[in-house]
Structure 1
Amino acid sequence: MFKQFSSKLTLIDKYILKRYMVTFFSMLLLFIPIGITIDVSEKINKILENKVPFSKVFFYYIDFVIYFANLLFPIFLFLSIIWFTSKLANNTEIVAILSSGISFQRFLRPYIVGATLVCLFAMVMGFYLVPKSSDGFRSFRYLYLIGGGREEMRQTNDVYRQISEKEFVYVSNLNVEAQSAYNFVYEKFEKDSLVSKITASSITYNEKTKDYTLSNYNKREIGVLNDKIESDISKRMKFNFEIEELTPVVYIAETLLPGELNAFIEKEMLRGSSNINTYLVVKYKKWSVPVSAFILTIIAVAVSSMKRRGGMGVNLAIGIGVAFSYVFLDKIFGTLAEKSTFSPLLAVWIPNIVFGILAYYLLQNAKR
């Protein structure tokens, strides 16, 4: 199938497509030493202070490269297309191609093919590679580079969670490493009425028996006429939650594969989590960012296919401005959705909609 498709591409198509892919991946490879050098210069003191093992640092920088390559992919893509298309324009190669009778729309074909390949590459990265790299990258930063990072990874004080439609849990302080919590309160409701309440000074998870030990246990069952009260110094019970589920790490959504992310969001919706919009933004971006490859490709070609007096420098300046505007708009609306009631789906797709309109406008002018 690939051979049949490849045979339909002309020599010019293959030439442009090759330049597209080579320039894009070269831009990514150039980022690796530059990005690592800048990050090392900023973090070396913290790494040495915390005596981080070399193996952990090594794997951190592998995760660092994948994480930021995915994050900055629109900028790399846009600048690479601006770069090699401007060279084609300055060498009058585009003029020669269009003068031979090829329409501007036909001239775009190899660029669209390249955008399709980059889009698929970005999807594979976002769905399968980035979640694991994000986990390693974020964990390393919180554990070794951020002061008080272990505490900032998750909420550990005054944790209040809905664990099912009828059950609620509160703890004043939580220790995930020790699998324990303090000032535990469990409440069960039926039709908005409290039917059962359990309190304990502490609760600890037992790995072997898969249950919890409650210290200074008290239980009160609400009756129609009389309440039933039960107390004990220590009591072992089972609950349908895990200590880690009470307070997931702040970046949990970024570390999950697509199926896991969907299941996690459904579970958090049932629990009434206040971070649902944050999780939905991560989910929708897995699709919106790869699709931006087509929009940015069209804009880049439209901007750089015309030979300008200032040469490649003018095109690059325009390209940098447009690329950073896209990333800025993406961050603004992503944060807006996370911190307000603004629709996450709309927030994630607004940059593509805005720049899609710009791409159409520039394409019409470029044809003329």
Structure 2
Amino acid sequence: MPKALSKLLWPTLLFILGAGASFLLCPIEQAAVNQQIIGYPDSVVPAYQLRPWLLSFILFIPFLASVIYRCCGTLDRYTLKTFLNSFAICFGALFIIMFLEDIQDNLSDFKESEDMLYLMGKHYLIKLPSLLVFILPYSLMLGLLWSLGKMSKDQEIVAMIQTGRSVTRIVGPLIGFGFLCTLMCMVFNYHWAPYADSQEKSILEQARGIEASEARHVAYQNNDDSRHWYVGAFPAEHDHGEPLKSVNITVMKDDSIVQRIITKNASWSVDARIWELETPLIHTIKEGNVTPVTHNENLTFDWPETPYQIINPGLKPPYLGIPGLTSWLANHRDHPLSDKRSYLTHWHYRIAHPFICMITIMLAAPLGIVFNRRGLGGGVAVAIFLCAGMIFCSTVFPTLGESGHLSPVLAAWATNIIFTLVALVLFHRRMTGQPIYQTLKNLLGN
């Protein structure tokens, strides 16, 4: 009985922690989604409403992993335990390196703020999903090479093969762990990792005493083409009532300009759903004559567009998650001021990129398993070479998609396709006992 209880201890604790975190965080996320939907009435609402559910799911992934671990056999648990020890060290080392590097780059900016500790905590809490998505594949590769190399050196892999297990069966639990990491990265890529990238600049501007802006120099035309907006800067807190800066509004009628309104600040009321322009200068154009009038009081207008709709064309694709990209494509696919190829490429890339975790496992596993002492160094060298190739391809192919040289789908998935094929070739050579490093060396030599 005590042994059975000990097996349930970790799953139970992780379930309680996941449930408690969901209870605290999901209502906050739901409130943010509700605010988003109010401001973006043309949004694809189901895409945003999925965010709290995905957040809850990711909080339960540790519980799910613990249950799967308890259901594995003895050899599978031993393989996982050996790998997880190496993975934890590699992940921790990379995390600390990235964290210290970021502090070194931004500490001078944080020192300029009176709320230094608050802004640093906010910065790194928001940045955490983006940082995890970035370092997970490299941690998986290093941890796998280390653990499988150690098991190969101690002849443990050979002993497992002699029990009748194939190489694929031996690394099966590791591929399962890679699948969980893929799910985690996919959830983060859905919204939180792109959001972290978009907020980093705003937080650093706030630390330097500069008014943080979410976007600058944004042009927008409303649905019936009766008003053209040009906004100099969107404050980072514009969704909490902060006014838009340096606003220029051109009012059209029958394809002709009838008014041009210039104001320093334009505020939108969420409750009243009206615009308030601060002491605007209004140029009225009639029959070629321009009549400028400066108003000493604020004027209100019941225009239907919202700040969220106006800023949408100015948001860059790398800073939008799947809900934002989906909504943009649904409402601005034919927008004359934006190029849909970038948004389509990043939409597909948000889904394709997390599978790098699975591919990393498939690449590193046959390179980490060796049957002689000389092969380990060669496998590490090939792994580093392939890792550099993945970084290069994951940067180049999306750029080609944005420029129109590749279709968005192919640009997003090309890296995955190429390195999955490479992984399958490596697995085949390892399963048939053919040397990987020496074969590659001979090919390069020839």
* Consecutive unaligned residues in structure 2, runs of 5 or more: 1-63, 236-241, 433-446
1:263 aligns with 2:327: yes
Q: In structure 1, what is the equivalent of residue 145 of structure 2? A: 82
Letter in 1 for 2:150: K
The 10-residue stretch of structure 1 (247-256 or 62-71) with the greater mean CA deviation from structure 2 = 247-256
| Residues 1:318 and 1:347: Cα distance change in structure 2 (over 3 Å) | same
Specify which of 114, 124, 147 is matched with residue 187 of structure 2.
Answer: 124
Q: Contact between 2:219 and 2:337, CA under 8 Å: does it hold in 1? A: no
Q: Deviations over 1:178-205 (max 9, x none)?
A: 424344323366xxxx266432233753
The 10-residue stretch of structure 1 (168-177 or 356-365) with the greater mean CA deviation from structure 2 = 168-177
TM-score w.r.t. the length of structure 2 is 0.67
Alignment of 1:64-213 (within 5 A): 64-127=127-190, 129-144=192-207, 154-156=215-217, 159-164=218-223, 166-167=225-226, 169-171=228-230, 173-174=232-233, 176=235, 178-187=243-252, 194=255, 197-202=258-263, 204-208=265-269, 209=272, 210-213=274-277
The 10-residue stretch of structure 1 (99-108 or 79-88) with the greater mean CA deviation from structure 2 = 99-108
Q: Deviations over 1:34-55 (max 9, x none)?
A: 2222222232223324555211
1:240 partner SS: coil
Q: In structure 2, what is the equivalent of residue 301 of structure 1? A: 365
Letter in 2 for 1:116: F
1:72 partner SS: helix
- Partners in 2 of 1:143 and 1:308 — Cα distance? 56
2:379 partner SS: helix
- Partners in 1 of 2:284 and 2:325 — Cα distance? 37
The 10-residue stretch of structure 1 (257-266 or 83-92) with the greater mean CA deviation from structure 2 = 257-266
Letter in 1 for 2:259: I
Q: Contact between 2:370 and 2:376, CA under 8 Å: does it hold in 1? A: no
| Residues 1:296 and 1:180: Cα distance change in structure 2 (over 3 Å) | closer
Q: Contact between 1:165 and 1:270, CA under 8 Å: does it hold in 2? A: no
Specify which of 352, 364, 367 is matched with residue 428 of structure 2.
Answer: 364
- Partners in 2 of 1:34 and 1:289 — Cα distance? 23
- Partners in 1 of 2:136 and 2:69 — Cα distance? 26
When the two structures are aligned, how many residues end up with a matched partner?
355
Q: Contact between 1:165 and 1:271, CA under 8 Å: does it hold in 2? A: no
1:77 partner SS: helix
| Residues 1:343 and 1:186: Cα distance change in structure 2 (over 3 Å) | farther
Q: Contact between 1:21 and 1:114, CA under 8 Å: does it hold in 2? A: no
Letter in 1 for 2:305: F
What is the root-mean-square deviation of aligned Cα atoms in Å? 3.7
CA positional deviation for 1:361: 1.1
* Consecutive unaligned residues in structure 1, runs of 5 or more: 221-225
- Partners in 2 of 1:186 and 1:24 — Cα distance? 60
Q: In structure 1, what is the equivalent of residue 284 of structure 2? A: 218
**Identical amino acids, percent of aligned pairs:** 18
Alignment of 1:17-36 (within 5 A): 17-36=80-99
1:12 aligns with 2:79: no
2:411 partner SS: helix
CA positional deviation for 1:90: 1.3
TM-score w.r.t. the length of structure 1 is 0.79
